[in-house]
Amino acid sequence: MFYSKKHYNLLIFCGLIFISNSVLFGQIAPSENAESNPQPTYDIQATIMEFRRANVKARPEILALMMKAQGLMAENKCLEAIAVYNKVIAAKADTGNIYNNRGYCYSNLKNFELAVQDFNTALKLTPGNPMNYVNRALAYAQMGKFDAALADYNKAIELNPKDALMYNNRADLLSKTGDYDRALEDQNKAIALHPTKAYFLSNRGMTYFKKGALDKALENFNEAIRLDPKLSYAFSNRGQTFVKQQMLDKGLADFNRAIELNPKFGLAYSGRGDVYRLKGEYALALENYNKGLELLPESAYIFYTRGTTFYLLQKDDLALADFNKALAINPNEAMVYNNRALIFIRQEKYQEALADLNKAISMNNRFSMLFVNRAAILIKLTNFGKALEDLNQAIAIEPKADFYAMRANVNQRLGNADATLTDLNKAIELNPTSGILHNNRAIFYFERETMDKALADLNKAIELNPKLGIAYRNRSMVFEQMGENEKSKNDAEMAKSLGN
């Protein structure tokens, strides 16, 4: 019996399903920097002016309340500020800006339902104020209502098409939903309006990062740093890009610089933790993640990355707890569902894993690995037809060699011989230096008794990877079929010495 199907499947799946030390298929782009992310806005002075216009006879007691609210909001004491606004509203001195400001406070407290109610009222009172649309868009985005958020940004830009910040904010939403090309269009408009705004360039760099255009990302981060050498999150974002390019020492230097510029920059500690994790220095990684969470106790991203480290340490309970916490903070991050699914896969809880991947795909249907991981579960459940659909989708998004190889596996199980060979050929075309892929095509030829082609592929596999034991084992079987008994024996011994 040729050593084919068992090894064929294992080799096809190798590196596709599980988190490794260097690849996270559920990677979240680190864009939670508080300094660059869109935030709701309020305007106390506009509120006071609006109040004075609406109340011809001055009401000193209300003005005093407004000044008190201004001080409380400046100190980020939102609960106390809400109590003051309640008194203003109860005194029938309410205006659109008062509801906007109270909505800002509710947003800051993450009570987005009440925030939206206040922004709705603000819009009824002042329908032409684009700030109200922007603030409601931010609340909708936090609630996962991305279509409603986009509609509000569109209206805000219609009312004020020269406001660069609105394009920047809409780009952030589009980037979160995976629509990177439209995000870049908006960021280009923002930069055209304000070409020296360093944080606009840093944000555009992050969109290129998410899109996988790392050279473009670096260009933007470099320019942002040139314009503002103290922009800590530009160093942090550039550090992430270096990490993605496997330039860990450069990444570490940038995270160190970001922390030097801002010792309370939680995500820079998290990025430094990523470097140590990739270096296999898990104790240092956890130390940095813990520091990041001390500074940002509600950061879904840092819970995610710390959970990943626990996963690599095979501490599944701690990993699961961190992923659950990340989702409790931000239930709209597809990649966390993906990586929680990886734990369920390792625990052979395939239905739970499938549910998480379904959820992830409903949030982001442009990420190829979500479809690949779901296909892997469907293969485990022997639902090869649905697995084939997912792999077709993955390849349409990103035609990678590994995806063609995996689809070849599914086509083989479905008895689609021509499609199997076509996919194997394409996989090798895309990655001609993979010994595993040549080994897998040899299996296809062996099962069809085309021994010369099987032998040629196995020779190539061994040439590319002289320590690929399974290729020696399989070539031993080919030689046996060809009557080359001595060669068969030699290859069997070599395979055994290599652990096969």
| Average pLDDT, integer, range 405-419 | 95
Question: Has residue 48 got a pLDDT over 70?
Answer: no
Q: What is the pLDDT of residues 392-404, one digit of tens each?
A: 999 999 999 999 9
Cα–Cα distance, 438 to 443 (Å, whole number): 9
pLDDT of residue 74: 83
Question: Has residue 156 got a pLDDT over 90?
Answer: yes
Question: Has residue 183 got a pLDDT over 70?
Answer: yes
Cα–Cα distance, 272 to 256 (Å, whole number): 8
Provide the Cα torsion 284, 290, 296, 302; round to 10°: 70
Architecture in CATH of 31-161: Alpha Horseshoe (1.25)
Question: What CATH number is given for 183-262 in this structure?
Answer: 1.25.40.10
Question: Has residue 433 got a pLDDT over 90?
Answer: yes
Q: CA nearest 203: which of 229, 230, 176, 177?
A: 176
Question: Has residue 260 got a pLDDT over 90?
Answer: yes
pLDDT band at 36 (very low <50, low <70, confident <90, very high): low
Cite the residue boundaries of each domain of the chain with CATH code 1.25.40.10. Answer: 31-161, 183-262, 263-314
Question: Has residue 13 got a pLDDT over 90?
Answer: no
Residue percentage of the chain with pLDDT more than 70: 88
Average pLDDT, the chain: 87
Cα–Cα distance, 293 to 317 (Å, whole number): 19
Q: What is the pLDDT of residues 441-484, one digit of tens each?
A: 999 999 999 999 999 999 999 999 999 999 999 999 999 999 99
- What is the sign, positive or negative, of the torsion defined by CA atoms of 128, 82, 266, 331? negative
| Average pLDDT, integer, range 287-314 | 95
Q: What is the pLDDT of residues 362-376, one digit of tens each?
A: 998 988 999 999 999
Question: Has residue 360 got a pLDDT over 90?
Answer: yes
| Average pLDDT, integer, range 187-199 | 94
Question: Has residue 267 got a pLDDT over 60?
Answer: yes
Question: Has residue 328 got a pLDDT over 90?
Answer: yes
Q: Which CATH superfamily is domain 263-314 in?
A: Tetratricopeptide repeat domain (1.25.40.10)
